[in-house]
Amino acid sequence: MAVNSYPTRVSNIRDGRLFSGVGAWQGAALVAALIVVLPILSILVIALTPTGDVWHHLFTNVLPSALRQTGLLMLGVGLLTATMGTLTAWLVTMYRFPGRNLLDWLLVLPLAIPTYVAAYTYVELMDYAGPLQGAVRWLLDVQSVRDYWFPEMRSMEGAIFVIAMVLYPYVYLTARATFLQQSVCVLEVARTLGRSGVGTFWQVGLPMARPAVVIGVALALMECLNDIGAVQYLGVQTLTATIYATWLERSNLGAAAQISLVMILIVMFLLWAERAARRQRYFHHTTGKYRALPEARLSGWKGLAATVACALPVLFGFGLPMVALVQDTLIHLDQTMTPAFWDAAQHSLMLAVGAAALSVTLVVLIMFGMRLAPNRSLTVAARLAGVGYAMPGTVIAIGLLIPLAAFDNSVDAFMRDSFGISTGLILTGSLAALVLAHTVRFLAVALGAVESGFHTISPNIDAAARALGAKPARMLMSVHLGMLRPAIGAAALLVFVDSMKELPATLLLRPFNFDTLSTHVYTYASLAMFSEAAPAALMIVLIGLLPVLFLHRAITGGRPGHRRTVEAEAGAPAMEGAAPVTVTPKPGE
Give which of 448, 555, 551, 562 is closest to 176, Cα–Cα: 555
- Where do the DSSP E strands lie in 234-294? none
3-state secondary structure of 378: helix
Outline where DSSP puts E strands in 135-192: none
CA distance 299 to 316: 25
d(CA 207, CA 213): 10
Are the beta carbons of 174 and 213 closer than 8 angstroms? yes
CB 372 within 8 A of CB 19: yes
Distance between CA 245 and CA 237 in Å, rounded? 10
Distance in angstroms (rounded) separating the CA atoms of residues 81 and 87 = 10
Tell me the residue type at 103. L
DSSP 8-state symbol, 521: H
Rg (CA), the chain: 27
DSSP 483: H
Coil vs helix vs strand at 527: coil
pLDDT tens-digit profile, the chain (589 residues): 344 444 444 455 445 454 555 567 777 777 777 777 788 788 788 777 756 666 677 777 778 888 899 899 999 999 999 999 999 998 998 888 898 889 988 998 898 888 888 998 898 888 888 888 888 888 888 877 778 888 888 899 999 999 999 999 889 988 888 787 776 666 767 777 777 777 777 777 778 778 788 878 888 888 888 888 888 888 888 888 888 777 777 777 777 777 877 877 887 787 777 667 666 555 555 555 556 666 778 888 888 999 999 999 999 999 999 988 888 888 877 777 778 888 888 888 899 999 999 988 888 888 888 887 777 777 777 777 767 776 778 788 888 888 888 888 888 888 888 888 887 778 877 888 889 888 888 887 787 778 777 877 878 888 888 788 778 788 888 888 888 887 888 788 878 888 888 888 888 888 878 888 888 888 888 887 777 888 888 888 888 887 777 777 766 665 555 544 444 443 333 333 333 333 333 333 3
Could you tell me if 26 and 369 are in contact, meaning their C-beta atoms sit under 8 angstroms apart?
Answer: yes
Q: What is the DSSP string of 292-313?
A: ----EE--HHHHHHHHHHHHHH
Q: Contact 313/108 with Cβ under 8 angstroms?
A: no
- Topology at the third CATH level for domain 25-42+54-281+297-557: MetI-like fold (1.10.3720)
Measuring CA to CA, which residue among 178, 265, 174 is closest to residue 219?
Answer: 174
Please tell me the distance from the alpha carbon of residue 28 to that of residue 6, in angstroms, as a whole number.
29
Count of CB atoms within 10 A of residue 211's CB?
20
Q: Alpha-carbon distance 584 to 291, whole Å?
A: 7
Q: CA-to-CA distance for 330 and 422, rounded, in angstroms?
A: 48
**DSSP letter (8 states) at residue 130:** S
Strand partners, 583: none
Max CA separation in the chain (angstroms): 99
- The Cα 32–Cα 363 span in angstroms is 8
Residues 572 and 587 sit within 8 Å (Cβ to Cβ): no
Query: Is residue 565 a contact partner of residue 292, using CB atoms and an 8 Å limit?
Result: yes
Residue of 380, 400, 387 lying closest to 506 (CA atoms)? 400
Cα–Cα distance for residue pair 358/498, rounded to 1 Å? 14
> Which residues 6+ apart lie within 8 Å of 2 measured at CB?
none
Distance, in Å, from the CA atom of 398 to the CA atom of 247, rounded to the nearest integer, reads 9
In this prediction the pTM is 0.77
Which own/partner contact pairs does 139-146 have at CB distance under 8 Å and 24+ positions apart?
A: none
In a 3-state reduction of DSSP, which class is residue 282? coil
Q: Do 293 and 93 form a contact (C-beta atoms < 8 A)? A: yes
Q: Can you give the residue ranges of every domain in the chain?
A: 25-42+54-281+297-557
Residue 492 · residue 352 · CB < 8 Å: no
In this structure, are residues 73 and 277 in contact, taking their beta carbons and an 8 Å threshold?
no
* 243 contacts 262 by C-beta, under 8 angstroms: no
